[in-house]
Amino acid sequence: MKEQVLIYDTTLRDGTQGEQISFSAEEKLRIAQKLAELGIHYIEGGWPGSNPKDMRFFQMAKEAGLKTAGLTAFGSTRRANVLPEKDPNLEALLQAETRTVTIFGKSWDLHVTEILGVPLEENLAMIFDSVKHLKSRGKEVIFDAEHFFDGYKANPQYTLKTIQAAISGEADVIVLCDTNGGTMVSDLSEIVEVISKSFPDIPLGVHAHNDCGLAVANSVAAVEAGAKMVQGTINGYGERCGNADLISVIANLQLKIGRKCLNESKIRHLTEVSRYVSDIANIPPLNERSFVGSSAFAHKGGIHVSAILKKPIAYEHIDPGAVGNKRRVLVSDLSGKGNIKYKAKEMGLALGGNGYDSQKIVKEIKRMEDQGYQFEAAEGSLELLMKKTTGQFREPFSLVSLRVINEKNRDGQSISQATIKICVGEEEEITAAEGNGPVNAIDNALRKALSKFYPKIKEMRLVDFKVRVLEGSGGTAARVRVLIESRDGKDIWNTVGVSENIIEASWQALVDSIYFKLSKPC
């Protein structure tokens, strides 16, 4: 393992600038604690001079004792023509009482003269004075050179002067920022190498945005060119197209090119942390996210599955467990016998040794998927199908009759009622129930009838219901696919139904959901 790369997380500040992302102070503290447990070196908590919430977070973090990571306050250089000791932003940074502070300053002359509207020399003084003032108060200072790469390409001489101003003020780390996210990997690598050689005595960092989809690649390239720190966010959250995804950055640096970022025992928690932050952000995890997505090691093609059963490296670039993820084998009309064997083993099902059962299951899946079923998204129904096809399933109940009435009156109110008759063994049960719509009424009536025989049915509940029109030329008579997600206190499972009749498709998915629950071991 080569020399250490410092990881600087800005999820709690730059990440919250992304659309639909907002954290309360309490949520920020929970994320900060998770990042500290992971071993992140610097956790940027926010901009204490910008809002009361961030100031409250820093107070809470101090009381919580986040000592395993360098909690960092973020802000800007002093204002033009204001003494640093009189600048409210710098004072707020000091009041946050963090060991480390990060300030950004303009390194692109266009921003200095046309956006800030100050002379070029005044901007250099703003950078120097701010860093010097914070250092005089005993702080470790990281200087973020905003728009560095665009500035360097436009006016390299002035950009280098901004870096020198920060170094003269005794900054501890200089971070080169691709703020607009438009720099190509080859250009960024070349520039970082030049700056590294020009200023060999100070550590460099990189802060990349993903507007060209290159943030992770640029971050890795910067390290290879001499950078010692990488800034980014968990899951790449951030403004516009986001920041460099630290999950992928860490995995690539440590597992691919041997640059140590975390303790080896911690890197196995990357998947857990990614999903934890996603959950708090209330943004569904991206299945295709590299390394940690649920599809990152999912295999569907029969040839692929056959190969990984023999040698996982044939279609997996790393062991999924290295980052806390796991291999998944999907079953669809592209599946072969290898997929079925893998799933049967995963589900604890016995298959005949001559391959006949596997072949029979594959044939049935292909037939049903041709009708519109989709088993990769409904593994509860898949398990039931495999059990039924191999004679390992006995129906716990059967339907005798079902009637659904949906009434709408002149006031616009709708009333749904379902009457159901089922058979359990030799005993029949008939009952009725109302619901918020026909599917809910069927669900209520079925549960009511079954609870007498199977009390554990009260443990499960339906949590999601999706309907998709498979082909729209039939209009309202088109075939639909219904997917139902259910859960109990331990597990989540998905089931599917397909029909031209939406009630029938819903019934299929609902019954499979209950069958699955009742077939689970106690």
Q: What's the pLDDT tens digit per position in 188-246?
A: 999 999 999 999 999 999 999 999 999 999 999 999 999 999 999 999 999 999 999 99
Residues 6+ apart with CB under 8 A from 306: 336, 338
Residues 434 and 416 sit within 8 Å (Cβ to Cβ): yes
Last residue of a domain, one of 262, 290, 308: 262
Whether residues 383 and 253 fall in one domain? no
Whether residues 347 and 405 fall in one domain? no
27, with CB counted inside 10 A (0-12, 13-18, 19+), is middle
Q: What is the mean pLDDT of residues 435-460?
A: 92
The more confident residue out of 513 and 492 is 513
Whether residues 381 and 405 fall in one domain? no
Say yes or no to pLDDT of 311 above 70.
yes
pLDDT tens across 432-444, in order? 999 988 999 999 9
Q: Would 175 be classed as within a structural domain?
A: yes
Last residue of a domain, one of 389, 417, 437: 389
Q: What is the mean pLDDT of residues 268-278?
A: 94
Residues 170 and 141 sit within 8 Å (Cβ to Cβ): yes
> For position 1, what pLDDT does the model report?
56
> For position 489, what pLDDT does the model report?
75
At 192, the amino acid letter reads V
pTM for this model (two decimals): 0.77
Least confident of 2-11, 63-72, 317-326, 412-421: 63-72
Whether residues 231 and 348 fall in one domain? no
The total number of structural domains that make up the chain: 3
Tokens found for residue 434 = 């109302």
Q: Would 288 be classed as within a structural domain?
A: no
> For position 217, what pLDDT does the model report?
98
> For position 358, what pLDDT does the model report?
82
Tokens found for residue 455 = 């009390």
Instruction: Report the alpha-carbon distance of residue 106 to residue 24 in Å, rounded.
Output: 30
Q: Would 270 be classed as within a structural domain?
A: no
Give the containing element (helix H, strand E) for 444: helix 438-450
Whether residues 324 and 417 fall in one domain? no
Q: Would 193 be classed as within a structural domain?
A: yes
CATH number assigned to the domain comprising residue 415: 3.30.160.270
Q: Would 206 be classed as within a structural domain?
A: yes
CATH number assigned to the domain comprising residue 221: 3.20.20.70
- State whether the Cα torsion 228-233-238-243 is positive or negative: positive
> For position 126, what pLDDT does the model report?
98
pLDDT tens across 89-102, in order? 999 999 999 999 99
Share of the chain above pLDDT 90, in %: 68
Whether residues 178 and 212 fall in one domain? yes
DSSP for 381-411 reads HHHHHHHHHTT----S-EEEEEEEEEEE-TT
Whether residues 411 and 384 fall in one domain? no
Tokens found for residue 151 = 């500035």
Looking from the CA of 360 toward its CB, the CA atoms found within 13 Å total 14
Say yes or no to pLDDT of 376 above 80.
no
Residues 417 and 403 sit within 8 Å (Cβ to Cβ): no
| Beta bridge partner(s), residue 229 | 6, 205
> For position 175, what pLDDT does the model report?
98
CATH number assigned to the domain comprising residue 303: 1.10.238
Whether residues 359 and 447 fall in one domain? no
Q: What is the mean pLDDT of residues 27-45?
A: 95
Whether residues 347 and 453 fall in one domain? no
> For position 357, what pLDDT does the model report?
82
At 212, the amino acid letter reads C
Tokens found for residue 506 = 């819903």
pLDDT tens across 326-366, in order? 888 777 656 667 778 888 787 888 887 666 788 888 888 88
Tokens found for residue 457 = 């049915």
Whether residues 62 and 158 fall in one domain? yes
Whether residues 244 and 358 fall in one domain? no
Q: Would 281 be classed as within a structural domain?
A: no
Band of residue 267 on the pLDDT scale cut at 50, 70, 90? very high
Name the maximum alpha-carbon separation found in the chain: 93
Band of residue 414 on the pLDDT scale cut at 50, 70, 90? confident
Q: Would 290 be classed as within a structural domain?
A: no
Last residue of a domain, one of 365, 389, 413: 389
Band of residue 183 on the pLDDT scale cut at 50, 70, 90? very high
Whether residues 220 and 362 fall in one domain? no
> For position 68, what pLDDT does the model report?
61
List the domain range (segments joined by +) for residue 31.
Answer: 6-262
Q: Would 35 be classed as within a structural domain?
A: yes
